Every structure is written in structure tokens, then in C-alpha cells.
Amino acid sequence: MAASSHIKDPTREQRDFTGRVIGLFLLALLAIFVLLARMIHLQVADYEKYRTRSDQNRIQVQPIGPPRGLIFDRNGVLLADNQPVFTLGLVAEQIPDLDRLIAELHSLVEFDERDVEVFKKRFERRRRPFESVPLKVVLSEAEIAALAVNRFRLPGVVVEAQLVRHYPMGALMGHAIGSVRRVSEDDLKTLDPVSYSATQFIGKLGIERVYERSLHGEVGYQQVETDARGRIRKVLSVQPPVAGQNLTLQLDTNLQTAATAALGERRGAVVAIDPRTGGILALVSNPGYDPNIFVTGVSAARYKELSEDRQMPLFNRATSGQYAPGSTFKPVVALCGLSLGATNWDRTISDHGFFRLPGQARIYRDWSWTKGNSGGQGIVDLTRAIYRSSNVYFFELASRLEVNDFVKCASKFGYGRNTTVDVLDELPGRLPDPVWKRGAKGEPWYPGDTINMGVGQGDVLATPLQLATVAALIANRGHWMRPRLLLSSDQALAEWDPPPPMPDVTDLVSGSDWERLIDAMEMVVHRGNLGYQQSGTAFPYIGKDLPYRMAGKSGTAQVVGIKQGETYNEKELTEFQRKHAWFIAFAPADAPEIAVSVLVENGGGGSAFAAPVARQVIDAFLVPKLAAR
Amino acid sequence: MSSRDFVRSMPGGGLPGVRRLNNMHLDPLMLLALLGVIVFGLVVLFSALGRDISAFDGQVVRVVLALAIMVIAAQFEPGFYLRWTPLLYGVGMVMLVAVIFAGVTVKGSQRWLELPGLPRFQPSELMKIAVPLMVAWYFNDRPLPPRLGHLLVALALIGAPAALIAIQPDLGTGILVVAAGLAVVVLSGLQWRWMALAALAAAVAAPGLWYVMRDYQRDRVLTLFDPERDPLGAGWNIIQSTTAIGSGGVFGKGLFEGTQSNLDFLPEGQTDFIIAVVAEELGLIGVITLLMLYLMIIARGLYMATQARHTFGRLTVGSLTLTFFVYVFVNIAMVSGLLPVVGVPLPLVSYGGTSAMTLLAGFGIVMSIHTHRGW
């Protein structure tokens, strides 16, 4: 400060000041250039980088779920479609107090603890911010209105429309076509996360499961502009989803209705097949259930009620019910006996009502055997053995068959395996042989086992679908058509590689052998009014006024025991211990158009209880056609 | 050349309207530049507000009010300011102390004072003007360049309020108050070598500053060097603002078309970060336009400072102009990632009335000093 004076010098001050100002102005200019350089660096040099970053910020790709393919019956009747339902969803970010909100919603909308539990699980694993999580899937009109009125005091509550699988036929087609369920945690582990990214439902049973890939369709995408909170502001571009394929099934709703009506209140199953194509025309399991209740989630109470019902409505008897085939097995035993040279059409035996192996005490009884009456059916040849269903004839025939040869022959008819093209839920039944018996029971094969098998008892088991397949195979004189549900689709189905055709059994026996067997099966139905023990077993019940030729075979399966875990009171014990009634049939006998199997659980005799159901079903199918010709 | 000659030599300078403005103690060129920034700012702000008419109307009212304050401030004689400066400074200091004991806390900082009958306000805002006025007042009848003793007094006049503001804590405003005061000291003719020495000392002391900073302040400094260290937290603002600026390119995305701002990625897009909206929507062209308007204000202000006849006037006009520029620089440097984030609005553009009123009141004083030729 030596240079500075102690008195003010305005002129010098002014000069100094101007110098300072010029210096500072240059400094300011420099600063502005620094700012400009920075801006040019960001906006020109790194423009691409920041442009991309800004686009990534705002542009999101969202999947759009494809609408599921529709399912029709062979006449174009809609069996499965998609309908909008209104869903109550909650958005986490907008909810101050979840428990209080749920309590408040309880007064407006009906839901139970299980719904809340499921909701909370989903709520915790939600993927995106501001994604709504469904609390209740199907809202009633009243609930929608109540929510709309109270909207202002329910922040974070959204009502959204979504397409949900719907089965217009309800319980009628429930077992026949299966159903979808909401995609579960477990499903997500195995599903393709990309193609199912916007899918709510997945086929879990029946046709819905088998053709899942084609019915599902292909996921679409939309590019959306979202703000920093994830809300959609604008849709930029859309790649629409490809709707699932529409499927037309072999099923005939009219026939399904007739078959269901024919069973009435009784537990049982009916399967009808067109033997010319293998097409399954009707697939009934009674009682059924309405699959719609499962689509959007069934209440715990309702599910408990259904699953513990002694009538077992959820159990698909037609494909999963495995029963002893009883006497319906006899035509196959006859064919195999002929094929193996163990019998012929002229050979006769004397039927005294029971059969006994030489040197053994055990008696195998005919169905007609009663205490104090050991009359039997008299002199019996193969034809009579079929139309009178003589057990003694088949005991004797089976006693002379080598079991492995016989089993090999019977398996050609589809016993013991699933021969269908697309009914993957079907269980295989069982065709026992010595190897199986040693493995399963630890016992050797006794001659008595073969004898029991000769009349379809013992360890042999079959499903109603399998027996309908056998009926169709006999109707075709040994020509195999694998049973199938699919009739046609819009385009070839990508996922389905059909199994190779089953080898025909046409040459197992001669052409005349086939005709004589079918004649004998016609006699089961049509032979009548010829005196004591001369009529076919089913004639009194269905044969008197048939306008067409039907070939059939009754069966009565013994109910061996009661399954574990089921307890019934004394009165029901007797009901559930009664025999199962079977009937298999096809018509017209000369040029069959329909083959049917009927099972009535604990129904009693096959001819009396199952045959009338079979006739009603075939009547419903054939009579209108015959009238039209 | 006198200011009058300069005006006359400008296009339209001889028009009756311009003369009338001069008679109203308003400087036409400065007014033009200020209005240019204000109008430019309102247009961008309308976009940044998401075209919310009611919020925009509120801002228009505040800006008009601020302009009215400027016009009124220009009418007082410079002697009035010289006379009342110590009192203004004294009242400001009292209020800063009052804030410590009776202030209202908003967002963790105790900056506001609520006096009965007055709207809630920040005394620190007042000090942005009071401090340079006070230092200029102090230097007015003392020989310049200042002697060491006078310099130390001046530094105390600056440091006391700045310290009170910094502990609120409001480091940003504290720094701006220091900048305003130091501008006077620099303009007073302090030797360059002293200033170089001071700058060196500051550079040496800077690491020590680290230890007195609070956690959030350290966070901001760290974020400046590496925004990605906490991209959703401390780094979010600066990442989104540089993204907004860079994605604007040379020509911008178009007015109202900025995605960063309209989709709420850019925080504080209406207030401190509004330059990012300018850069995103109007591009480099828009940024250059705004910078040129600011440069006009500064050039005109500094010119006016050289025209003042008395020490107080010179120092006041020059320091208020320089302070204005410091605001501009700090704000833009902060938003573009050159400086740590401090709460400094972009002058005359950011949403809010207080800043505009303080600034325009300052320009009112500038015009008063310039147009009252007795000074």
C-alpha cells in the first residue's frame, strides 16, 4: 500500500476503476466462453450419447398379451371364449396405509382372507413401479358402482377391464375341454418369460393344456413414453399381438347334452367316438363342475366343498377313472382266443354255472350262479358265450391261454396305455402280466389270475375312453383310428406332432371271424323272444324297438374295496360297494358311425343300467340321421 | 462521452419515448436487455410449468411487481441510498441474528423469518444488496485503493453476514453475498498482486474447507466429480440435467417438446435447473441467445459503472452488475455439471418472486445512480 495516498484522488480513482472494469469484463467474457464450451461439449460433441440416454429414460417397451384362441364344437358352437371382467387392483406407490385401505375395501367389495393372502404375495413380487396388483378379479356391477362412488377417498385403487377365459357351456363341457388357471408362481419358473410376459392365464387341463401353445398366441409390444413415475403418457408404436389359434373340436354339443341327460343324477361316464375318424363326439363325466369358477380363482370354502364331495365332481371319470372292464373284455378275449387257436366258432362247452381247474377246489362262478341253483347256461359255443355273457366259457378259454401271449394280443387293442392323439390327461389303465404282478404285489402269477382276466376281472383296469376306443376298433373290424378331440384349426398347429398310427389288428383273425363276433354282439342287443336263457343279455332293456342294428356288450365290474382315506357311513357303504355297470356298443353294426362306452358307477348290472344310457346316446346321434335319409 | 451522448448515438436514441424513459430515470438499453431476459424466461418457464396457466399467471404478476419495484427504486436519489445504507445493513444483520433464534425451518435449513403483518421472507436475500451497498458506503469517503486497515474492516463487513447465512445452513447464498462484497473490494482498486495472493491462499485453504462442510455438501462435491456414484440419489439431478442439455443438441427438441422436463425426469426444472429446459427445448441456439442477453446486461451495467461520478455510485453499480453475472455463471455451471449443486436460481428466468425482486431492486438502484446526473 506504499504507493497509495492518504487523501482521495478522484481522477486516479476513476482511471483505476475503468481499468478494473475492463479487466473484469474480460474475465466475464472468459467465463461465458467456459460456459459455452461446456454447452458445446454436451450438446454437440456428446449429443448422440445424451439423446440416447434421454430416449432410454422415457421410452419403455411393454408387452401386450395375445387374446386366447377360441374353441368351437364340430357344429361351430362356442365352447370357450374370452370375456371382459372388471378387476380391482391396487397401486403400491399411491397407498399410504395398505391394511387400512383393505379394511375399507372390505365394506365395499366382497373378498376373503385367502384373497388378501394371495394378493399380498403378488404385491411383494411386483415387477414395475406403479404396476397395479389385482386384489379381486371379478367385480359385480354393484361393486363397480360402489368403488366409483368412493373413488376420491380410495387413492391407489384402480378398476381395470381384462379379458378372462369363459366357458359358455359351463359344467356340460367342463371335463371334455378342460380349463385354464391363473398363471402361478410355479408356472413362472418353467414358462418362457418373454412370450408369457403379459399373459394371465394358462391351460391347465384337457384341450386347454394340450394345445396351450397354439391357443396362447404370440405376445405383442407397445413402445410407450412414460414419465419419471412410470405412468404412460403416450403410445409411440405398437406391434400387435398375434391372437391364439381358434380350434374346432370333434365334440358335438347336442350329443354331449344327450349323454349327460342319459346319465341323469347317476355317477358315471359316457364316451362316444366316430369310429371312422377316431373323433371323440362326446366325453361326459358325471357329475361335472363349472370350470368358470376356477378361472379367476375359486374361494377356499367352495374348493373344499367340491374336492371333498363324495360324488367327486372334479374327478374326470371318462379319462382318469380306471375300472375293471368286466364282461366288456370278453370280445377281446374271444378275438385273441381265435387268433391264438385256443377256440373256434364250433367248439362248445357245457356250462353248469361254475368253472373249476382240474385238481383244484376253487370255484369260479358264472354271473347267473346262485346258491342252490347251479344250472348254468347249458351247452355254449362262442356266439352264445358272448350274447349270454357266459363266464364259464371264458374261464375255460382263458385257462387254456398262455398269459404272455394273451397279454401281447390284448395290448394291441390299446389296453394298458394311452392311445389318444390329444387326450393327454387320460390314464393308461392296466393290463397285468406276470412281470407286473411280481413287481407290484411280490407274488407269482397263478393260473387263476388268467382265468379272472378272461372275464375282465382281477387286476385288469380300463378307462371309459379306452373301452370306447375298443368299441370303435371292433366296429372298424380291426382298423385303428387313434381317438382325438381336435377336428381342425385355422392353421397347422406348430406344437403338435401326432403320434404314429397304431398298427391295425385287422389280420388278427379272418374277416368272417370279425363278422361272426359282431353278429354275436348284435345278438346281445337284438336276439330276443326266444324263450328262457335264449335272449341277448341287453335285449330286454334296449332291444325291443331298435330302429337300427346295434352291436354291444355289457359288463359288470366288481368293486373290490374302498379307497384309502374315504370314510362313509353304513348306508353309503353299501351304495358305494355296488358293482359298476358297463356297456360298450356301436351302430349301425354293418357300417358303424358311432361307438360308445358307458359306465355307471355302482349302478348294478351292465345290461340293465348302462345299456339304456348307451341306447339313448346312440339314438340321439343316429335317429335324426336315419330319419333324414 | 456522457451517458446521454451514448443514448443519443443509439438507434432510436433521439426518439421522444426514449427521452421519456430517461426522464423516468430508466436506462433504455438496460431496460431492453432486462425485458429481453424476462420475456425469454417467461416463455421457457411456461413450458417448464407444463403449460399450467394459473402458476404462470402468478409468475407474471410477481415479475410485474418486481419491475414496479425497480421503477420505484430508480426514482430515489443516490444520496438517499448512501444515507440509509448503514441502517439497511444494520437491520439486515439484526434479522440474520433473529433467524438463528426465531427462524422458521424449511427442508432442514433455518432461513426464513416470519414477522407479524409481513409475508415470510429470507433476510439473507436482503443482504445480497445490503452488503455491496455497505462496502461501497464504507469506501465512499476513504482513499482508494484501500489501505490495509480499511480493507480488513471491509472484509469484516462482508464476512459477518456471510457467516451468519452459511450456518443456517445456506452455503450458496453465503457465497453469493461474499461474491457481492468482494466485487466491491476488487473494484475499489485493490492491487492485483494482493488478489493473486488471496486466490492462492484460498486454493491452499480449499482442502481444509472439506472438514467444515456438512455431509450433504460433501456429497454434492463428490457427485460433481462422479455423478454415477449414486445415480438415483445425489447424482440424479446432475445426470438428468446433463442428459436434458445434451439431448437438446444444436437446435433443441422444440418449445414444449422437452421430454426430460415434461416427463418430470428433470428435477427443479422450473426453478434452479431451468437452463436445462432452455438447452433441451431450444438447443445451443437458445442457450447462446440467453447468454448474449445476459452479456448485454453486464456490458451495459459495467459501462454505466464507469460513468458514475462518485465512488459510492461506481462501486455500487459495478458490484451489483458483477454479482448478477456471478449468479448467471454459478447457476449455469452448476446445472451443466461444472460446479457442485448449490441453490442458486437463474436470474430473472427461474420460477419464484423473491430473487427477481431483489435483482430488479438492485437494477433500480443502478438506474437511479446512472440517471441522476448530479451524481
Which tens digit of pLDDT belongs to each residue from A7-39? Answer: 777 888 888 889 889 999 999 999 999 999 999
Please name the residues in contact with B188: beta carbons below 8 A apart, sequence gap of 6 or more.
B139, B144, B145, B146, B154, B315
- The span from the CA of A307 to the CA of A318, in Å, is 18
Contact B329 A13 (CB under 8 A): no
The C-alpha atoms of residue A524 and residue A521 are separated, in whole angstroms, by 5
Q: What is the pLDDT of residue A154?
A: 82
- From chain A, pick out residues whose CB is under 8 angstroms from the CB of B317: none
Residue A20: which of B189, B295, B311 has the nearest Cβ? B189
- If you write DSSP's letter for every residue of A221-242 in order, what string do you get? EEEEEE-TT--EEEEEEEEPPB
Per-residue cell: A29: 467474457
A9 touches chain B (CB under 8 A): yes
Which residue out of B186, B247, B275 would a mutagenesis test of the A interface target, given it has the greatest number of A Cβ atoms within 10 Å? B247
* C-alpha dihedral sign at A203, A208, A212, A218: negative
Kindly state the cell numbers that stand for A215. Answer: 391357443
Q: DSSP string of A10-53?
A: HHHHHHHHHHHHHHHHHHHHHHHHHHHHHHHIIIIITHHHHHHH
Is the pLDDT at A6 greater than 70? The verdict is no
Contacts of residue B182 in chain A, CB cutoff 8 Å? none
Q: Which three cell numbers stand for residue A353?
A: 354255472
Q: Are A457 and A333 in contact (CB under 8 A)?
A: no
Asked whether the beta carbons of residue A8 and residue B186 sit closer than 8 angstroms, the reply is no
For residue A44, the chain B residue with the least C-alpha distance is: B249
Q: Cα dihedral sign for A587, A590, A592, A593?
A: negative
**What are the residues facing A280 on neighbouring strands?**
A273
The burial class, CB within 10 Å (0-12 / 13-18 / 19+), for B233 is: exposed
Contact A582, A567 (CB under 8 A): no
Instruction: Return the pLDDT at A2.
Output: 41
Query: Which H or E run contains A621?
Result: helix A611-628
Distance CA B150, CA B133 (A): 16
Asked if A558 and A542 touch (Cβ cutoff 8 Å), the reply is no
Per-residue tens of pLDDT for chain B, all 375 residues:
444 444 444 444 456 677 777 778 899 999 999 999 999 999 999 999 988 899 899 999 999 999 999 999 999 999 999 999 999 999 999 999 988 888 777 766 777 777 777 777 788 888 999 999 999 999 998 888 888 899 999 999 999 999 999 888 788 888 889 999 999 999 988 887 888 888 888 888 877 777 777 777 787 778 777 777 666 666 788 888 999 999 999 999 999 888 888 888 888 888 899 999 999 999 999 999 999 999 999 999 999 999 998 899 999 999 999 999 999 999 999 999 998 888 889 999 999 888 899 999 999 999 999 998 765
Mean pLDDT of A91-105: 81
Residue A495 has a pLDDT of: 64
**Confidence label for A128 from pLDDT (cuts 50, 70 and 90):** low
Q: Please, are residues A291 and A167 in contact by the beta-carbon 8 Å criterion?
A: yes
H helices of A162-211, in order, are 171-177, 185-190, 206-210
pTM over 0.80: no
Could you tell me if A226 lies within 8 Å of chain B, comparing CB atoms? yes
Give residue-wise pLDDT tens across range A137-191: 788 888 888 888 887 788 888 888 888 899 999 999 999 999 998 887 788 788 8
- The mean predicted confidence, pLDDT, of chain A is 87
Q: What is the mean pLDDT of residues A488-494?
A: 82
Q: Tell me the catalytic residues of A.
A: 327
Contact A34 B338 (CB under 8 A): yes
- Closest chain A residue by Cα to residue B145: A4
DSSP string, A265-283: TS-EEEEEEETTTTEEEEE
**Pair A342, A481: CB distance under 8 Å:** no
Three cell numbers, residue B89: 445493513
User: What is the Cα–Cα distance from A513 to A499, expressed in whole angstroms?
Assistant: 30
* Cα first-last separation, chain A: 130
Query: CA-nearest residue of chain A to B151?
Result: A1
Which of these, A149, A232, A215, A130, lies nearest to A179 by C-alpha position? A215
How far apart, in whole angstroms, are the C-alpha atoms of residue B84 and residue A597?
Answer: 112
Nearest to A62 by CA among A245, A285, A236: A236
CB contact under 8 A, B249 and A49: no
Task: Please tell me whether residue A462 adopts helix, strand or coil conformation.
Answer: strand
The pLDDT assigned to B232 comes to 64
Residue B3's pLDDT is 46
Query: HSE-up of A406 (CA within 13 Å, CB side)?
Result: 30
A253 φ, ψ (degrees, to nearest 5): -60, -35
Q: How far is A294 from chain B (nearest CA, A)?
A: 41
Mutation to test the A interface, candidates B182, B240, B263, B335, most A Cβ within 10 Å: B263
Residue A47: list chain B partners with CB under 8 A. Answer: 246-247, 249-250
A13, closest residue in chain B (CA to CA) = B144
What mean pLDDT comes out for the span A245-253? 95
- Domain residue limits at B249: 3-371
pLDDT in tens, A367-397: 766 555 556 788 999 999 999 999 999 999 9
How far apart CA B364 and CA B31 sit, in angstroms, is 10
Nearest Cβ partner for A228 among B145, B248, B265: B265
List the grid coordinates of A506: 385287422
Q: What is the pLDDT of residue B143?
A: 85
Bridge partners (DSSP) of residue A380 are A349
Tally of structural domains, chain B: 1
pLDDT at residue A127 in the model: 55
| ipTM, interface predicted TM-score of the complex | 0.91
- In the 3-class helix/strand/coil scheme, how is A392-458 assigned residue by residue? HHHHHHHHCCCHHHHHHHHHCCCCCCCCCCCCCCCCCCECCCHHHHHHHHCCCCCHHHHHHHCCCCC
Per-residue pLDDT at B263: 82
pLDDT at B33: 96
Report how far residue A504's alpha carbon sits from residue A348's, in angstroms, rounded to the nearest whole number. 29
CB contact under 8 A, A42 and B245: yes
pLDDT attached to residue B214: 75
Q: Is the dihedral of CA A457, A462, A463, A469 positive or negative?
A: negative
A51 lies within 8 A of chain B by CB: yes
Q: Decide: helix, strand or coil at residue B106.
A: strand
